[in-house]
Amino acid sequence: MWDSEPLNECAYGFDRSGLDSSDHKELVTMTFSAVFAIVVGIGMIVQWAVSYAAKQIPELLTEPIRIRFHIAGEILTALALIGGGTGLLAGWPWAPTLFFVSMGMLFYTAIVSPGFFAQRDERIWVLLFGVLILIGLLAVFSVHAVVAA
Residue 95 CB coordination number (10 Å): 26
- Note the helical H segments in 6-122: 21-53, 59-62, 64-90, 95-112, 114-119
Whole-angstrom Cα distance, residue 31 to residue 104? 19
Q: What is the CA radius of gyration of the chain?
A: 17
Domain ranges of the chain: 20-148
pLDDT(50) > 90: yes
Tell me the pLDDT band of 33, cut-offs 50, 70 and 90: very high
Tell me the pLDDT band of 17, cut-offs 50, 70 and 90: low
Q: What is the pLDDT of residue 7?
A: 46
Mean pLDDT, rounded, for 68-91? 98
Find the range with the poorest average confidence among 22-26, 29-33, 117-121: 22-26
Q: What is the pLDDT of residue 5?
A: 53
pLDDT(4) > 90: no
